[in-house]
Structure 1
């Protein structure tokens, strides 16, 4: 194992054990290096790597702190990786969406409050009769984000939102080029909403699967 990797593991163990909790300040560099049996250079590299993925926050002139470790913060790195994919590997992201979003939708059918469900209906009603591709996409993103949030699981929500980049671009492309796609999207959104409103998680899961698979299969054909 590389020295830097070993240093990262040692800091990670301190966090996992609870010795360093969210918001905690790390000991001074010289003290921590001596305690962990590391060179100061190795410790600096480890801190730099953990700061890049938002585990640590290096504050110039103040010290190094553990971040809040909130899921949305830790999963920012996923969005960074996702945004570099522009070829047919976007299909891999759709496959992951097809696994995650139906589960989130089923959970939302049991955990969303009545007010949350009413807000979901308002999102659908706010879409113009003949929306542009951009208006449809904005509405689509808000609809799915609200359902992901309604799952009640912040990790699941962050994963789904992290996958929205390349799949959103593919959906815009479809909306501009495939006849009837906007109408199908609207119909499927309504079906998902109605299943959630009726508190029918299995039906909500099924419609979410159909909705994502519809775009995925179109993309497979055009690629």
Structure 2
């Protein structure tokens, strides 16, 4: 079991056992991490995941609380997940991405200026070592959009940007549920960047196709 999954399970057990009830405040982060035998980073990821599904409420400067756990509140989160898994139209958006983005990446390898490439490198370098799901997805979106802009075709760039919205939810869910998603994305982004920086359009196109197809294949299995 992944460390973050173990942390989620431990907090869930505290709620199910009655140790934590609706409206209760969680112990201090340091104390809870020590008690559960977890790193504070793993605990934070668990809290963030449970907050996304309305089990916990993180109040800045105050602490983290168990929500009311009212059925309506929890069903809001459940309907999000169920809606995602029943709606396979997002796969169609990924199919379009798989067609458009590799071509745009090849164009970017021949058209991006040295300054453009330096900016793309900056985005790659700001990918955190242990990113939160939000940071992971935000960096992923910036990286792909910068490449689309670098293709030098505003119509193509706009098409790719319009597709990013419908696929963002899948990217978030992947970041939360697929172990190693961030590390795989970082490595593949680096390969794409090196091909662009080396002015090798065929290699850049191939890596972009591998990258997007991998996410698409994960989504097909998840659905």
Name structure 2 gaps, 5 residues minimum.
Answer: 1-82
- Please give the residue correspondences for 1:40-189 in structure 2 after superposition, counting only pairs within 5 Å: 87-189=87-189
The offset of 1:157, in angstroms, is: 0.2
**What is the RMSD of the two structures over their aligned residues, measured on CA atoms?**
1.0
Is contact 2:105-2:151 (8 Å) kept? yes
Residue 36 of structure 2 aligns with which residue? none
Looking at structure 2, the residues matched to 220 and 127 of structure 1 have their Cα atoms a distance apart, in angstroms, of 26
Q: TM-score if structure 2 supplies the norm length?
A: 0.61
> Deviation per CA, 1:53-94, whole angstroms, max 9, x where unpaired?
xxxxxxxxxxxxxxxxxxxxxxxxxxxxxxxx9511100000
Looking at structure 2, the residues matched to 215 and 128 of structure 1 have their Cα atoms a distance apart, in angstroms, of 20
Q: Determine which structure has more spread, i.e. the larger CA radius of gyration.
A: 1
Residue 207 of structure 1 aligns with which residue? 207
> Deviation per CA, 1:93-151, whole angstroms, max 9, x where unpaired?
00000000000000000000001001100101112110001001110111011000000
Is contact 2:148-2:160 (8 Å) kept? yes
Looking at structure 2, the residues matched to 138 and 162 of structure 1 have their Cα atoms a distance apart, in angstroms, of 15
Partner secondary structure for residue 131 of structure 1:
coil
The offset of 1:167, in angstroms, is: 1.0
Residue 220 of structure 2 aligns with which residue? 220
Name structure 1 gaps, 5 residues minimum.
Answer: 1-84
> Deviation per CA, 1:164-214, whole angstroms, max 9, x where unpaired?
012111011001001011100000000000000000000000000011001
Looking at structure 1, the residues matched to 164 and 127 of structure 2 have their Cα atoms a distance apart, in angstroms, of 20
Looking at structure 2, the residues matched to 154 and 145 of structure 1 have their Cα atoms a distance apart, in angstroms, of 11
Looking at structure 2, the residues matched to 192 and 168 of structure 1 have their Cα atoms a distance apart, in angstroms, of 20
Q: Between Structure 1 and Structure 2, how many residues are aligned?
A: 139
Looking at structure 1, the residues matched to 107 and 135 of structure 2 have their Cα atoms a distance apart, in angstroms, of 27
